[in-house]
Structure 1
Amino acid sequence: MTESTHGALTPVLTDTWDAEQGWKLDTYAAKGGYDALDTAFAMRPDDVITAVKDSGLRGRGGAGFPTGMKWSFIPQDNPKPKYLVVNADESEPGTCKDIPLMMGNPHVLVEGVIISSYAIRANKAFIYIRGEVVHVIRRVQAAVAEAYAAGHLGKDIHGSGYDLDVVVHAGAGAYICGEETALLEGLEGRRGQPRLRPPFPAVAGLYASPTVINNVESIASVPAIIRNGADWFASMGTEKSKGHGIFSLSGHVERPGQYEAPLGITLAELLDLAGGIRQGHQLKFWTPGGSSTPLLTADHLDVPLDFEGVGGVGSMLGTRALQIFDETVCVVRAVLRWTEFYKHESCGKCTPCREGTWWLVQALTRLENGQGSEADLDQLLDQCDNILGRSFCALGDGATSPISSSIQHFRDEYLAHLSHGGCPFDPARSTAWAGQEVTAS
């Protein structure tokens, strides 16, 4: 266990990852797994919701909305059945925490599903997993089967009188289904496209019934809160961003991987734990929460990685997908690759996103090839402005984030493409730029 100024790393969700067959029920049970069920069943459902509220747990899928508050929106006087839906459609470029969590410790998710369903009085829950990750789907299905066999799921769980069935659903493979209402469309068998809101899912979600939709990590955090108490969870993190979370470091670091730590840790501290930037190189830019969050630079190494700290420097904590890029990477090319992804994954429902992402790719391709003038940069920003806040869902907004932030921090690099007739990082195309550095402005 490695120390940082925020104290030790906190292996809670990742506690069984290093155990032999850590995904098995026996391994999870040996560490107190499923003990929190009896604690929860001894409480009233509303008291479970209150405990999650008091813990300060905020959604771990990106938006950071208070989890307990979301549960409390479910109208209990509605005669229709209530549903819990776990969003396991992890598709954001750079985001890689939920899939290893489900592989390494699926039972913490299953236990979280049971407690969360009990709290909102749901008797049916769905775990919607990205269709491409067949090995993860099988791992979670096996964990659910083990939980049924052990009496943790089904009828009269632990003699409590509470019944719950869990369905593991494989999506068809679409980034847009990470948007909660598009996920519901896919779950109901239709094409994955976002719904108009209101009505919100809490009132009319799955099958037009009250529905809670939460990220994998959000739900998986619940058992430890119930077992150890809300104060325990709230004692970690910062004043407004409580608890611990999984930080995914990828890219040009010596030891990429998952680092579970209290919110508020900095990238500088995480880089120390990860062995630093790869030898002989230096940090150029990074994403705090996946490719749809505005990128940051080496000037932001000491920004607290919590919702308020990252928001204060013009970005978003998102999914804590820290993609690290050193000075060998062309920021224009990286942004173009991300934009091509958003163009490909746009569901086509709304004009700003469907047409806008296509035009963004065209403009960036020309700039990356050294074609055009500085005026094209302003036109590109104008295109972003016409998409931001005008698309049907957040996909369009996310597509503009890396573009506008990269021009803000690396305008000189965009101009270098124009003045040298191509990418300054490609000696075959732009020998005049060889040996010169491109830095953040």
Structure 2
Amino acid sequence: MTAVPQERKLVTAIPGPKSQELQARRLDAVAGGVGSVLPVFTKRLDGGILEDVDGNRLIDFGSGIAVTSVGGSAEAVVRRATAQLADFTHTCFMVTPYEGYVEVCEALAELTPGDHAKKSALFNSGAEAVENAVKIARAHTKRQAVVVFDHGYHGRTNLTMALTAKNMPYKHGFGPFAPEVYRVPVAYGYRWPTGAENCGPEAAAQAIDQITKQIGAENVAAIIIEPVLGEGGFIEPAKGFLPAIVKFANDNGIVFVADEIQSGFCRTGQWFACEDEGIVPDLITTAKGIAGGLPLAAVTGRAEIMDAAHAGGLGGTYGGNPVACAGALGSIETMKELDLNAKAKEIESVMKARLSAMQEKYEIIGDIRGRGAMIAIELVKDPASKTPNPEAAAALAKACHAEGVIVLTCGTYGNVLRFLPPLVIGEDLLNEGLDVIEAAFATL
């Protein structure tokens, strides 16, 4: 494996001729419903750089949506997955088990918050993990209702589409959706009517009031929330909100599920984002950053809750595939060895300082938020009205892409630029990427 030089380099327009050729083939062969942010076809991915088929090297501020946190070809991930490939690719854990699956579950028990006895079950994707968390919570509580939040995103399967707040592109035209799903307000400080300082307690009171009146706490199996809401716009619930919701869940025998699929595994400068306010979830769902780019997901939680499902009730042919498990162990090894929590905090301090300076110059930056290497800016028409500005977000993303920096948009209103650089990115590349973003603001 040859390392990709860690420097931005443009040798063609973006996308280049070979990417355009592949895009023409893709349009003939791949379903139109599968979109791409940028039709640049990847050849190699390493550290903070993506090299495309035309030889362009782009700075990666996306990490495959928070997946390649340890880089796209991390040594320990490649080494362990390669060794596993040579031994066997699959047996199905439900037929004949293997040690790697057990090792990943042991690592999750060690890393996730709380010192209670924990167990895990492994799956393929974040949506599968969330769906199985609901199954487990329902089996444990013998209740049916599931509570989720405004701006939340939980996946693209039928149940997880029902759990997801945003219609377009995730839900539009795909109903009817699974029943017994209820949505309540979240503490979105920047847009809270009475201001960010009142937001946490007020939003919690509103949410609890709605649950109590409209559903009945005694009917709720699970409350599911992302400790930092990802697709909804990297919203950090205002302080005090999550602890109040957790207390309500605990007081009423409701399973509290932290969806850490995007925010987990050092992304926010802690192993899991819920640790920030000392939250100990009953169940925690993980995927994305867990296995260095190999498909793996997990539900981890209190042993007595995890054991509520009957034998044979959980599983799936590929769940906890041995090669993906090897990748996860390599990814966790890398995170510990390089102290990627500390690295995420360094990324935060660089990004927030640079973005704050930009905010002083460009008033369309309404809010800067996030933690660690999960940072976003919300763009508005003007700071007084806070009217969302999705056109500016799209234009900025396009300008960055043309200059060889991969950035993503998100947010319920499509007006948020989000930054998810690999945790192993060099500080020079980080600053160079921010230079490109600043230049894009200047031209806008």
Determine if the TM-score, normalized by the shorter chain, exceeds 0.5: no
Q: Structure 2 length as normaliser, TM-score?
A: 0.30
Q: Structure 1 length as normaliser, TM-score?
A: 0.30
Q: Which has the larger radius of gyration?
A: 1
| Larger RCO (alpha carbons 8 Å, 6+ apart) | 2
